[in-house]
Amino acid sequence: MISIIIPARNEELILENALKALSLYSGEKEIIVSDDGSIDKTVEIAKKYTDKVLIYNGDIKRKISGVRNAGAKVATGDYLVFIDADVTVKDSDMVFKILISLFEKDSKLVGATVFIRFLPETESFADKVIMYCMNMVHLFYNNVAHFGGASGQFQMIRRDAFEKIGGYNVEIVAAEDEDVFQRLAKIGKTHSEKSITVYETGRRAHKIGWPKLLWQWNSNAFYVIFFKKAYHSEWEEIR
């Protein structure tokens, strides 16, 4: 049983694409959309695909860590799969068959990620090069250095390991995805599966540009590694 957890805020334009692809998975699953106070049709769209839609009515804007943790709290699966709302998982049967097999074969494996690319219809040459480099960095961090690292677009985590480390750090506004894999690597193995690719829209890179985004990624990752906090105090919402 896998619990697929999608954090969402005002994602009416792209959420349905992710949910359609995930709904095709024929294995035992539950899809949880953890909403963070959307004011558009995000919740309405989510309810077309799952009855597990968490609605947050608080006044304070939460960090994505808290939104993900809220979804994990109601999850019942053996594996927690965290996927961003703008990510499409093509051939989900193949994807999860491979990943579940990896976990079943190695009891020490606590977290797995995959390669990330932008959707072919939006992908530029620069996108291909930079995302390839990012994927190879995570491959090295997980499979070679055993340091741990993964982007939040796709993370599959053994449930008991997630609970053991206390989930995502709700105090970190950015690079919380890297942080959770670094902490997982201290209690078990993390793995990057290069035979699997999932696709994201690339909306952040295309809107603010690669120079700014790379600075944000690297500065936050550096601060999380050495100071256990993000460099930026707020993560800009891109829609």
Query: How much is the pLDDT for 140?
Result: 98
Say which residue the tokens 């947050």 belong to. 56
Query: How much is the pLDDT for 132?
Result: 97
State how far the Cα of 224 lies from the Cα of 239, in Å rounded to an integer: 26
State how far the Cα of 184 lies from the Cα of 164, in Å rounded to an integer: 9
Take residue 155 and report the two structure tokens written for it.
């993370």
Does position 214 have pLDDT exceeding 70, yes or no? Answer: yes
pTM of the model: 0.95
Model confidence pLDDT, tens digit, residues 152-178 = 999 999 999 999 999 999 999 889 999
SS3 at position 114: strand
What is the CATH number assigned to the segment(s) 2-202? Answer: 3.90.550.10
Take residue 87 and report the two structure tokens written for it.
């990510």
> Looking at the chain, how many residues does it have?
239
Split at pLDDT 50, 70, 90, the class of 120 is very high
Residues paired with residue 30 on neighbouring β-strands, in sequence order: 3
Query: How much is the pLDDT for 206?
Result: 95
Split at pLDDT 50, 70, 90, the class of 56 is confident
Asked if residues 192 and 135 have their Cβ atoms less than 8 Å apart, the reply is yes
Query: How much is the pLDDT for 60?
Result: 67
Query: How much is the pLDDT for 59?
Result: 65
Sign of CA dihedral 113, 35, 160, 98: negative
Q: What average pLDDT does the segment 203-222 reach?
A: 93
Structural domain boundaries in the chain: 2-202
Does position 2 have pLDDT exceeding 70, yes or no? Answer: yes
Burial level of 84, CB count in 10 A (0-12/13-18/19+)? buried
State how far the Cα of 61 lies from the Cα of 233, in Å rounded to an integer: 13
Query: How much is the pLDDT for 239?
Result: 80
Say which residue the tokens 């539950």 belong to. 30
Q: What average pLDDT does the segment 136-149 reach?
A: 97
Q: Which residue has the higher pLDDT, 37 or 4?
A: 4
State how far the Cα of 26 lies from the Cα of 4, in Å rounded to an integer: 13
State how far the Cα of 198 lies from the Cα of 181, in Å rounded to an integer: 18
Q: What average pLDDT does the segment 204-219 reach?
A: 94
Model confidence pLDDT, tens digit, residues 42-54 = 999 999 999 999 9
State how far the Cα of 226 lies from the Cα of 10, in Å rounded to an integer: 33
Q: Of all residues in the chain, what percent carry a pLDDT higher than 90? A: 86
**How high does pLDDT run on average in the chain?**
94
Split at pLDDT 50, 70, 90, the class of 11 is very high
